[in-house]
């Protein structure tokens, strides 16, 4: 299943704009250099003329090899003189050329590989980012950072039911999440955040998302009910053109699933979520899962196989204590 035509168009437009921007900047730099070194423009014209003559020689026929050799020698001589001229004024030929964002495809989005034209990795990356942005349109990604999480609301008194105070636990989790975001890689470990509401699971997962996005990775933050709703809608839609949610959720660098267990439980929802999580785990791609349910409740809602597959592959972070949102009011 490929990306929708809308995602493809937006992505290709981004690549095209990169190319145009690089070439506009190069034209501006070239004009500036030519205003200082007028004779440089004549060298560029002569070098371009050699290329035109070479094309005409091929079409005209005759002793093409000999003609092309002469034109090649002439072009190399002109290029050397051109470089010397620019160097004498403190410039180089690189100053007159576009500085493309992607050096592999020169911002065309496509490269030649094994005698085939294939999509460049830069375009693939933009398509993932564009698809992620579409799914994140209604997500509160800009609302939480590590800086605005205040640990003073967490109790320093040790609860006999837990190994440490909620303050100590949260401080430990905070440091882990901050380090995770700073060192994130597309093959980072998955995280399972578990605990009652109001303890900071959503805040920290959003803070991770913000930092990882700043580092240029494709992140999707979405609730389990929305995932199920989108996948179900696309599963039974007649228009398969825009059915790219599953691919986007599978291919993004980091998938953050909030409120696992709050979706309407059906055979379809359990299967869809399991297949999604399993696909990412098989690809070595990380997932961050937030849930208010304990393991027993999750196993009852899904299956032991489902839960063991998720928990067994993830770093478990247990949140406990009192709802800090009530303390802030």
Confidence of residue 238 (pLDDT cuts 50, 70, 90): low
Mean pLDDT of the 14-30 span: 92
Q: What angle do CA 136, 183, 179 make, to 5 degrees?
A: 95
Q: Which of 19-23, 64-68, 217-221, 299-303 has the lowest mean pLDDT?
A: 64-68
pLDDT at 302 over 80: yes
Predicted confidence (pLDDT) at residue 1 exceeds the cutoff of 50: no
CA angle, corner 144, sides to 208 and 182, nearest 5?
A: 25
Give bridge partners of residue 191 from the DSSP assignment: 288, 315
Distance separating alpha carbons of residues 199 and 25, to the nearest angstrom: 50
pLDDT of residue 99: 92
- How confident is the model over 73-95, as a mean pLDDT? 88
The answer to whether the CB of 126 falls within 8 A of the CB of 15 is yes
Per-residue pLDDT averaged across 268-288, rounded?
Answer: 91
Overall average pLDDT of the 233-259 stretch? 80
CATH code of the domain made up of 136-328: 3.40.50.300
Query: pLDDT averaged over the chain?
Result: 86
User: What does the pLDDT average to over 245-264?
Assistant: 89
Phi, psi of 215 (to 5 degrees): -85, 5
The neighbouring-strand residues paired with 256 are 221, 288
Domain residues of the chain, as ranges?
136-328
Encode pLDDT of 27-55 as tens digits: 999 899 888 898 888 888 888 888 888 88
């Amino acid at each position: 299943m490929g990306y929708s035509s809308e995602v493809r168009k937006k992505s290709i437009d981004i690549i095209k704009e990169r190319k145009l921007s690089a070439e506009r900047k190069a034209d501006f730099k070239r004009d500036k250099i030519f205003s200082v070194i007028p004779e440089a423009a004549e060298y560029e014209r002569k070098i371009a003329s050699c290329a035109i003559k070479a094309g005409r020689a091929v079409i005209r026929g005759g002793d093409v090899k000999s003609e092309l050799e002469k034109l090649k020698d002439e072009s190399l001589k002109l290029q050397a003189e051109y470089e010397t001229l620019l160097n004498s004024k403190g410039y180089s030929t690189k100053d007159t050329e576009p500085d493309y964002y992607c050096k592999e495809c020169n911002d065309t989005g496509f490269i030649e590989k094994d005698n085939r034209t294939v999509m460049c990795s830069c375009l693939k990356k933009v398509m993932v980012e564009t698809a992620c942005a579409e799914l994140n349109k209604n997500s509160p990604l800009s609302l939480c950072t590590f800086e605005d999480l205040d640990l003073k609301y967490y109790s320093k008194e040790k609860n006999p039911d837990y190994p440490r105070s909620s303050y100590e636990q949260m401080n430990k989790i905070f440091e882990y999440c901050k380090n995770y975001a700073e060192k994130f890689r597309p093959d980072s470990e998955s995280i399972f955040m578990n605990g009652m509401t109001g303890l900071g699971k959503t805040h920290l997962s959003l803070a991770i998302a913000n930092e990882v996005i700043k580092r240029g990775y494709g992140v999707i933050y979405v609730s389990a009910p929305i995932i199920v709703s989108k996948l179900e809608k696309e599963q039974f839609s007649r228009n398969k053109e825009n059915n790219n949610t599953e691919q986007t959720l599978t291919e993004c660098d980091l998938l953050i699933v909030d409120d696992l267990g709050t979706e309407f439980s059906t055979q379809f929802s359990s299967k869809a979520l399991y297949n999604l999580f399993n696909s990412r785990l098989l690809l070595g791609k990380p997932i961050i899962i937030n849930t208010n349910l304990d393991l027993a409740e999750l196993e009852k809602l899904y299956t032991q196989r489902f839960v063991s597959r998720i928990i067994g592959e993830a770093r478990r972070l247990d949140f406990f204590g009192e709802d800090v949102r009530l303390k802030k009011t």
